[in-house]
Amino acid sequence: MTKADKLFLNNIQEILENEYSTEDGKVRPHYKDGTPAHTIFITQVYEKYDISKGEFPVTTLRPTAWKSGIKEILWIYKDQSNELDILKSKYNIHWWDDWNIGNGTIGQRYGATIKKYDLINKLLNGIKEQPYGRRHIIDMYQYADFEETEGLHPCAFMTEWSVRGNYLDVTLIQRSNDYLVAGHINKIQYVALLMMVAQATGYKPGVFAHHIQNLHIYDRHITQAKELLNRKPSDKNPKLILDTDKTNFYDFTLDDFKMIDYEPIKPQLKFEMAI
């Protein structure tokens, strides 16, 4: 069993057994039929994977849309866009449509924030010019942006970066995580980003760490959670590889990535989205 599968099963079990429920209060998310979308959750969850030693954060217990996840990261950090038309026409991703604020965008959020504050270029230049600096941070939780427009506040909102010899490490800080639907998509996304930033600055991918303040399962996903606990993980150890000699961050594409030894357990599970 891989480290990712072990942690996935342990966290699901802990949520089901030791959770706190939101059913005694008001919640913002709702299902498409208008019903409040309650969750059971745990807090302050931390995972750590050493990419340089072959540890990789993707579960084999269900298929994960890793290609779509990387496409979204390219939309945010490379295109630096909040426009849904670009996300759909260029990458064929539609899961953000429900967060359209009415002007074809998700508001002054994510990619628009990266562009507004020139966060990627500042990160790349900072790592190159002062590698052992302790201020290599991208923070998309900008209150001025929230006041500028409506829109969902960023969930995976901050990354902290550290050079360690020949390696580049990153910590992802996430305020909220829909564990069964997006938990491993988020991890794959930021491992991919780590690989791109590392190669663009002359380092090797090192450690990926992930801190989640609120790790939750929606009330309409409980059956799927129990199904996952009953599945036997694959005996494969999947890995993501950035298979290119490119060094310009803005030249990377999805085709530069390969997933090897990835044989997730099927059938795929269906989840009703909370919006």
Q: 266, exposed or middle or buried, with CB in 10 Å at 0-12, 13-18, 19+? A: exposed
In the chain, the domains with their CATH numbers are: 3-260 (3.30.572.10)
Integer-rounded Cα radius of gyration of the chain: 18
- pLDDT, tens digit, for every residue of 116-132? 999 999 999 999 999 99
pLDDT-derived band at 268, boundaries 50, 70, 90: very high
pLDDT band at 171 (very low <50, low <70, confident <90, very high): very high
Distance spanning both ends of the chain, measured CA to CA: 33
Contact yes or no for 159/173 (Cβ under 8 A): yes
Q: What token pair was written down for 110?
A: 């994510």
Distance CA 249, CA 198 (A): 9
Q: Identify the band that residue 19 occupies on the pLDDT scale cut at 50, 70 and 90.
A: confident
The arithmetic mean of pLDDT across residues 247-275, rounded, is 96
Tell me how far CA of residue 90 lies from CA of 22, 72, 75, 110, 194, in angstroms.
Answer: 38, 10, 9, 17, 22
The stretch 16-26 carries a mean pLDDT of 90
Q: Residue 182's pLDDT band (boundaries 50, 70, 90)?
A: very high
Catalytic residue set? 155
Measuring CA to CA, which residue among 112, 99, 213 is closest to residue 150?
99
